Structure 1
């Protein structure tokens, strides 16, 4: 299924992150870490001895720490669009530091990467591509900086993510839930950009909450706001909010919880 092209308002992403606190972010990041662990496990089955690694979308340093432990001799660069998150990552890594090469920290947009051509052996990206202003341009930049034989390994979220919340808002004109790319569209982009034998797969995670408010609190804590440029800009009215809550109730189960679907896309491709 083809997903209509959409644009991300990167300023909205950064603004959302600045409104949260480091402590709240860590509390809401459990699912991010679960997916990161599953992505990291894939490195055990890939023969690669990278000299330079970019942790693309490092957030608070969880994946950088794991990469440092896995590739002790590598030069690792932690990159994120948020200086707030990078500062938290720096503090976390300083508290843990075991004497490996301490990673460089870079703030950058996701569509213009601050690296020379063919200068990176591995790009590792956990749940960052969905915040790119232009995913095809981001993938083109990944291709530009990877050395021949280099690897792009990533996770992102697919179109069924938050499908219950999106359906609950379906009667409203504005866009209230972020739209995501289809797995096949991402694979097609990689093929068009001449990545070698892209491998794509997905899984569905269901997270259960006792209330929509609890869900919204978690999303807010990790800066996961709707950043589509066609999102509704005004404040949501009380009646509009109540209609959404009532609509979501049809998914409530016998254990009094509501489901939240996360479609997780995993992909890797060599250059």
Structure 2
């Protein structure tokens, strides 16, 4: 299968942005805060193993360690420099483990995780059915999954402006809320709840928006991206096209669509839907053997 995203480019971009990420990540912190509020629905449950997937600088890892002081919190990220930044969030009273890992192949045992939390990470993975199947594999039956991602309306103004200046894509495509729901159902997750927010901050010019995107590591990670620098003429043409979007407050809008997905892991043997058919996995020790 031809992959949409270049995983090495994603890793490079977030590695480069690690030290300045926290200062630029106001939106990411707001989304993280809203996702953390969803943990209140766990009521008095005391998880043993909690995973913060795509942990970035580790704010959510530290918050969950503080919330559940007896739990083991695993902070996972594709970019090793991000994990070095995450270490700064720890301390003897809220320490957590840091693991460099790819979300598509988690280095975790089957049915070992009580809470899997992932804030604005999974938008860089196009194969959602396989991703959610991997989430199901590592979650205990009845465990909680909480995920946020960017949706397809993210940076629609920037996408349109560059489309008028250049035939090469400049903005990554992100999955829709319907695709998220389908992937969760296919993987067998129970009681899925999906929601969305639209954030539309303003910027004085295109250059300011592009600087923020670089600081966040949110650069073009498409395999089909142009591998040379955007020339002055193309950038000027995009900036000119973007001017049509300038608001009454004098700023250029940049839409960020955020999707939220929550669900419970199914019991053992619950079917996974593949190609429209239900496929059930039954542990070998549960298959009766007739002896003659």
TM-score range, shorter chain: over 0.9
Q: Kindly indicate whether structure 1 or structure 2 has the higher relative contact order, using CA contacts under 8 Å at least 6 residues apart.
A: 1
Residue 42 (structure 2) aligns with: 46
Using the TM superposition, give the Cα deviation of residue 77 of structure 1 relative to its aligned residue in structure 2, in angstroms.
0.4
Residue 254 (structure 1) aligns with: 248
**Inter-partner Cα distance in structure 2 for 1:267 and 1:57:** 16
**Inter-partner Cα distance in structure 1 for 2:13 and 2:172:** 13
Residue 134 (structure 1) aligns with: 127
Mapping of residues 1-271 of structure 1, within 5 Å: 7-20=4-17, 22=19, 24-47=20-43, 48-93=45-90, 97=91, 99-100=93-94, 102-132=95-125, 134-171=127-164, 172-271=166-265
Does the Cα contact within 8 Å between 1:55 and 1:125 map onto a contact in 2?
yes
Instruction: Select between 189-198 and 12-21 the one with higher mean Cα deviation.
Output: 12-21
Does the Cα contact within 8 Å between 2:246 and 2:252 map onto a contact in 1?
yes
**Inter-partner Cα distance in structure 1 for 2:151 and 2:169:** 17
RMSD: 1.5
**Inter-partner Cα distance in structure 1 for 2:115 and 2:187:** 17
Using the TM superposition, give the Cα deviation of residue 98 of structure 1 relative to its aligned residue in structure 2, in angstroms.
5.3
Cα distance change, pair 247–179 in 1 and its aligned pair in 2 (3 A): same
Does the Cα contact within 8 Å between 1:9 and 1:133 map onto a contact in 2?
no
**Inter-partner Cα distance in structure 2 for 1:202 and 1:111:** 24
SS at match of 2:233: helix
Query: Structure 2-normalised TM-score?
Result: 0.86
Unaligned ranges ≥5, structure 1: none
Using the TM superposition, give the Cα deviation of residue 128 of structure 1 relative to its aligned residue in structure 2, in angstroms.
0.6
Would you say how many aligned residue pairs link Structure 1 and Structure 2? 262
SS at match of 1:201: strand
**Inter-partner Cα distance in structure 2 for 1:10 and 1:147:** 28
Does the Cα contact within 8 Å between 2:153 and 2:255 map onto a contact in 1?
yes
Does the Cα contact within 8 Å between 1:191 and 1:197 map onto a contact in 2?
no
Using the TM superposition, give the Cα deviation of residue 63 of structure 1 relative to its aligned residue in structure 2, in angstroms.
0.6
Instruction: Select between 237-246 and 151-160 the one with higher mean Cα deviation.
Output: 237-246
Query: Structure 1-normalised TM-score?
Result: 0.93
Does the Cα contact within 8 Å between 2:10 and 2:221 map onto a contact in 1?
yes
